[in-house]
Structure 1
Amino acid sequence: MNEQKNLILAIVLSAVVLFGWSAISERYFPTANPPATKIEDGKEVVIPKPGADPAADTITAIRDRATVLGETPRVPIRTDRLTGSINLTGARIDDLVLTNYRETIAKGSPNIRLLSPSGSPKAYFAGFGWSGASGLPGPDTVWQAPQGAVLSVGKPVTLTSANAGGQSFAITIAIDEDYMFTVTQRVTNGGTQALVARPYGLVSRVGASTDPDSWTAHVGPMGVFDDRVNDVNWEDVREAANRTMDFTSTGGWLGFSDKYWLTALVAGKGTPIEASFRQSSGDRFQADAAGKPAIVGPGQAASSSMRLFAGAKETALLDHYMDDTGVPLFDRAIDWGWFDFIAKPIFYLLDWLFRMFGNFGVAIIGLTVIVRILLFPIANKQFASMARMRQIQPRMKAIQERHKEDKLRMQQEMMALYKTEKVNPMAGCLPILLQIPIFYALYKVLLLTIEMRHQPFVLWIRDLSAPDPMTPLNLFGLLDFTPPQFIAIGVLPILLGITMWLQQKLNPQPMDEIQAKVFGIMPWIFMFIMAPFAAGLQLYWTVNNIISIGQQYVLIRKHPAPAADTVIEATATPAPAPTRPARRKK
């Protein structure tokens, strides 16, 4: 009867862990990218990316992007990493495609489009200008550009405009070999009255990002003001007074961060700015930064400069802009979290291994081996202690049977046995504790870094940042049935569960029956828990388990458990010595 109760309790506790984790992970620990492929009729096919969101000024304003692009005069943008155009109406950078990245892993998949003009799907653009007086260029001003101008690396483009009062305006846009634009604004007062002009830059998008914003991976408005990172949620802006959040700073940057992409305004070092995040009708979000107003007298001129980053959040590139060009805390555009001091070195080690082997899956296996080597002295002590625990486990069982009615005495004799045999039952905890930040750091690398996006391993695993797509639940795709993600357990999670179970079998078994049953079920619970996580994380854990099994097997053979009769003889309670009857006094 007690065994049935223990089994039921173990099952209930396991169910609480399984379903409780699922509820927590949805909010705090997003698992992986959406699956990149699926198995149909035994063949791997690429999953198409869902259609574009209805993101534009208003629902009725959404029109074909090509139509919108053709309605205004434009200056082409051509670099090795970017293509697009500058809208001469309003001096907007509103057409930008990243040529090194594609929507899916399918052959011929379109490139990532980052910016789109107002009135088209996914409207998202950057603009520059002045505020503060009448006669200044506005969003409807059509700027002039040199005939045949093309913005490219080393070939900036200057847009010009003038008003009837004799004031002229110029915006010079330059671009580097990556994703950084430099925008220099200049106003020249050829009139008879002083002119007050305040330069500004803005980034506008309609609708929040489709990437999930979670506790471990921030997506949305963000900025660095006076060397402090401000992660702002979409709802924070919607619920702010007047739907506006204001900041002041000297230098810094602000914009919108997606999972892999960033569009941000960068103020000059030491330049005072007033910055804001705003939300307006049509679910439009805006990040803007304004410099100090300039009073430009007759015959005088004033200029200011601001940069715009619009591209992929590549780790080394963000570090370059931070270290070499002075953009403060630009690396924090990637939400490394608490363990950034571990996560970034792990990323750079993975990247180095990738460049050595040419395969990120092999790089993850190499990382696992390196971590195990670094932790070998501690792990070796752990396994030696566990081997000793296996040796004395029959004696522990004997103590448990002998004092099952006296728990206090049983604990006292257990502690005495540990002390005599010099065994620490908690020795196995330290390597596990040391692995937690490493495992979490790898989780962040696989979840957030664009370098891991769409990276294949072997066979059917074509994206290590997405879950393993092959599951036996539909006979590996032979059945016309797509299991729900919760139960679609791939091959790698199954291997993870099996290796975890084998590893447990080599460990000393818990003395408590309920604990032993829970531990026996946990490998299969973790098989379900890890199924929706990135295949790269599953690969790391599985390889780690295999190495642990090998190490444990060697140590068990080195320290075999004693024979049962020897244990019984050593732990048997000695019979009391005979006593002579007391002599009666005469």
Structure 2
Amino acid sequence: MDFFGTIMFPFQWLVSVIMVGFHEGLSRLGLPEASGWTWTLSIIGLVLVIRAALIPVFVKQIKAQRGMQLLQPDLKKLQDKYKGKKDQLSRQAMTQEQMALYKTHGTNPFSACLPLLVQMPFFFALFTVLAGISTARQRGEGIGAMSHEQVLQFDASSILGAPLTAALLYSDGNMAVTVLTIVMILAMTATQFITQKQIMAKNMSEEAMASPFMRQQKMMLYILPIVFGVGGINFPIGVLIYWTITNLWTMGQQFFVIRRMPTPGSPAAKALAERRAAKGLPVTSNPGSKRKGAEVAPAVVEHKNQRIQPHRKNRKKKHG
């Protein structure tokens, strides 16, 4: 076993254990063991287990994204402060102050990518499990927690006439494989694009939208779907199902967070304040939207020509 195989082995075993567990459970409920739909539901079950386990990581990602958006005004001031200064001491001082800003806001530029990075080993593990099905069948072996009998079942399983182990690059002219993989690749890239687009359109303040960080995010908005779309021609149908369902889960999570806990100053935050005002509820700042050491001002909402101003705390009069 090579170095990569050694690293991936525990992930392959865990992926196959979860899939086999769902497959056996669904079979006991009456679904055919060799059916491609039974194995497809097992892959969906794998997604649900992994994404449920990653909810704490997702919460950390949301906090990191919010922190990155809230520090953009301070980051822009820092960049203006050192604008045009290219000497080593100035660059070092700017880096130190920038790290201090990240620490103060409890975030860093890489935290937003954390769920994707955590998921990648499972993604590659599923890819290697499905890609190794035909080899395991020829050798008369199992793969991970899958017995040889289950390997034979999976290898023979299909949905809509397309084997779950087939990929567009190796379709051999099978029209069912070609059509289904193209549809799945489009679904995978579209759900990924929409998920990122809704964050930028609804859950970012004007300061964040004008920041250099936002320009990088806009590039990633288009680059990542292209990368996965091009790579998708080599993915087995089972992997495409996994990634599409994962994207749908992420989209649902993002929709809930944006609607219920939006970033202060974003269009979603203004929409939430308007909904609260329409219901006669107090317009307050988001829970968890405070910076460390500073309060975020409550949103101001225009409703039926009445301007709702944030309440100011009563100050004690100074005695002469």
Distance 1:339-1:353 versus aligned 2 partners, 3 A rule: same
Q: Which residue of 1 aligns with 2:162?
A: 462
| Amino acid paired to 1:353 | F
| Structure of larger gyration radius | 1
| Amino acid paired to 1:379 | F
Bigger fraction of residues in strand: 1
Determine which of 108, 119, 124 is the counterpart of 1:440: 124
What does residue range 303-382 of structure 1 map to in structure 2 within 5 Å?
A: 338-357=7-26, 358=31, 359-382=38-61
What does residue range 77-476 of structure 1 map to in structure 2 within 5 Å?
A: 338-357=7-26, 358=31, 359-393=38-72, 395-397=74-76, 399-400=78-79, 403-406=82-85, 408=91, 411-449=95-133, 450=137, 451=151, 452-457=154-159, 460=160, 462-467=162-167
In 1, Cα distance between the equivalents of 2:220 and 2:48?
Answer: 30
Distance 1:350-1:410 versus aligned 2 partners, 3 A rule: same
Deviation by residue 1:99-128 (Cα, 9 ceiling, x = unmatched): xxxxxxxxxxxxxxxxxxxxxxxxxxxxxx
Further displaced range: 341-350 or 510-519: 510-519
Q: Which residue of 2 aligns with 1:542?
A: 244
Determine if contact 1:382/1:431 at 8 Å carries over to the other structure: yes
- Give how far 1:414 is off: 3.5
Q: Which residue of 2 aligns with 1:495?
A: 187
In 2, Cα distance between the equivalents of 1:418 and 1:396?
Answer: 9
Q: Which residue of 2 aligns with 1:287?
A: none
In 2, Cα distance between the equivalents of 1:515 and 1:440?
Answer: 25
1:561 counterpart SS class: coil
In 2, Cα distance between the equivalents of 1:366 and 1:530?
Answer: 21
TM-score (norm 2): 0.56
- How many aligned residue pairs are there? 219
| Amino acid paired to 1:354 | H
1:347 counterpart SS class: helix
Determine if contact 2:127/2:239 at 8 Å carries over to the other structure: yes
- Give how far 1:521 is off: 2.4
- Give how far 1:554 is off: 2.5
CA RMSD of aligned residues (A): 3.8
In 1, Cα distance between the equivalents of 2:105 and 2:248?
Answer: 29
Distance 1:406-1:362 versus aligned 2 partners, 3 A rule: farther
- Give how far 1:430 is off: 3.8
Q: Percent identity?
A: 28
- Give how far 1:403 is off: 4.9
In 1, Cα distance between the equivalents of 2:247 and 2:111?
Answer: 18
In 1, Cα distance between the equivalents of 2:83 and 2:190?
Answer: 34
In 1, Cα distance between the equivalents of 2:180 and 2:23?
Answer: 29
Determine if contact 2:181/2:237 at 8 Å carries over to the other structure: no
Distance 1:497-1:402 versus aligned 2 partners, 3 A rule: farther
- Give how far 1:525 is off: 2.7
Determine which of 253, 257, 265 is the counterpart of 1:562: 265
Deviation by residue 1:223-256 (Cα, 9 ceiling, x = unmatched): xxxxxx8x9xxxxxxxxxxxxxxxxxxxxxxxxx
- Give how far 1:527 is off: 0.6
Bigger fraction of residues in helix: 2
Determine if contact 2:64/2:107 at 8 Å carries over to the other structure: yes
- Give how far 1:363 is off: 0.9
1:425 counterpart SS class: coil
Structure 1 unaligned spans of 5+: 1-228, 232-334, 470-476, 565-569, 571-586
- Give how far 1:369 is off: 0.6
Determine which of 243, 253, 266 is the counterpart of 1:551: 253
Q: Which residue of 1 aligns with 2:230?
A: 528
In 1, Cα distance between the equivalents of 2:258 and 2:74?
Answer: 17
In 1, Cα distance between the equivalents of 2:121 and 2:67?
Answer: 28
Deviation by residue 1:517-537 (Cα, 9 ceiling, x = unmatched): 355223123211112310111
Q: Which residue of 2 aligns with 1:14?
A: none
Determine if contact 1:488/1:531 at 8 Å carries over to the other structure: no
2:111 counterpart SS class: coil
Deviation by residue 1:113-165 (Cα, 9 ceiling, x = unmatched): xxxxxxxxxxxxxxxxxxxxxxxxxxxxxxxxxxxxxxxxxxxxxxxxxxxxx
| Amino acid paired to 1:525 | V
Deviation by residue 1:500-552 (Cα, 9 ceiling, x = unmatched): 21233327776274674355223123211112310111111111122122223
| Amino acid paired to 2:184 | L
In 2, Cα distance between the equivalents of 1:547 and 1:365?
Answer: 11
Distance 1:401-1:551 versus aligned 2 partners, 3 A rule: farther
| Amino acid paired to 2:162 | R
Determine if contact 2:167/2:181 at 8 Å carries over to the other structure: no
In 2, Cα distance between the equivalents of 1:563 and 1:410?
Answer: 28
Q: Which residue of 2 aligns with 1:517?
A: 219
| Amino acid paired to 1:497 | T
Determine if contact 2:102/2:108 at 8 Å carries over to the other structure: yes
2:156 counterpart SS class: coil
In 2, Cα distance between the equivalents of 1:412 and 1:381?
Answer: 24
| Amino acid paired to 2:115 | P
